[in-house]
Structure 1
Amino acid sequence: MSHYQQLVKVKTNGKSIHKITSKIESAVSKSGISTGLCTLFLRHTSASLIIQENADPDVLRDLANFLAKLVPEGDRYIHSTEGPDDMPAHIRTVLTHTSEQIPIAHGRLMLGTWQGIYVWEHRQHSHLREVLVHISGD
């Protein structure tokens, strides 16, 4: 079994959802692994990784609107050292994911037709987010 790792950096621009599918596909291609597993790990606690609809952007907007209503910002939280958007960002990350696993077959991610991989920034300000891509297999 072979292993390959790559760090993918994603510059966010405040609350937003960034498609990173092509960056992950590129890492899979570079790995030379034909059959295996791609593990993604976002090295942050106030942003998320999601696999979601990649055709209709309204889906992503609806998800963002729903989560904003579910976990509102404001002065209701004890943890507020980094601002009123920080604790809600942590809660949103708990409700979503910081890691994903995707099977690889024939050297390609086995995503569904309408699935894309995204980094979801939950903070108001821009950040440089890091996704560790670990690929293992043959």
Structure 2
Amino acid sequence: MDSTTQHYRTGGHEVVEDITRDATEFVAGRGDGLLHVFVPHATAGLAILETGAGSDEDLLAALAELLPADDRWRHRHGSRGHGRSHVMPALIAPYATIPVLAGHLTLGTWQSLCLVDLNVDNDVREVRFSFLAG
């Protein structure tokens, strides 16, 4: 298995960041196999969805409704509502696996691989890309 990490600056705001280009570049020319992507953070996740047509903003809005940034959370350090960021990975998993055929991701026409980060207290995220040859 071959593995590498990338770092992403997500800033001090909630974000759905498209990382498909980096995933595509990592698997290019590798033949058949699986790309496993993992975010080693307790407050970030990965989602496969359409971007650029409003779905990324819709995801953030849905998470804001499901996980409000208020004082209901028992996990209370950090900014107001920080505890919700620790619950989010149960809904938006910190991993994704994508089949790779002939060195190309097999994502659908409108699908993108995205880093989802609600934690405004940590502005740099690490993502591990691992390729398992088939």
Equivalent in the alignment of 1:33: 30
- What is the percentage of aligned positions where both structures have the same residue? 27
Residue 84 of structure 1 deviates from its aligned partner by: 2.1
Residue 55 of structure 1 deviates from its aligned partner by: 4.3
Q: Partner of 1:72: helix, strand, or coil?
A: coil
Equivalent in the alignment of 1:49: 46
TM-score by length of 2: 0.92
Contact 1:11–1:126 (8 Å) recurs in 2: no
Matched AA of 1:108: H
Equivalent in the alignment of 2:72: 76
Matched, 1:8 2:41: no
Residue 82 of structure 1 deviates from its aligned partner by: 2.2
TM-score by length of 1: 0.90
Which consecutive residues of structure 2, in runs of 5 or more, have no partner in the other structure? none
Q: Partner of 2:86: helix, strand, or coil?
A: helix
Equivalent in the alignment of 2:18: 19
| Distance (whole Å) between structure 1 residues aligned to residue 113 and residue 97 of structure 2 | 11
The correspondence of residues 109-124 of structure 1 with structure 2, limited to 5 A, is 109-124=105-120
Which consecutive residues of structure 1, in runs of 5 or more, have no partner in the other structure? none
Across the aligned residues of Structure 1 and Structure 2, the Cα RMSD in angstroms comes to 1.4
Contact 1:54–1:116 (8 Å) recurs in 2: yes
| Distance (whole Å) between structure 1 residues aligned to residue 81 and residue 6 of structure 2 | 25
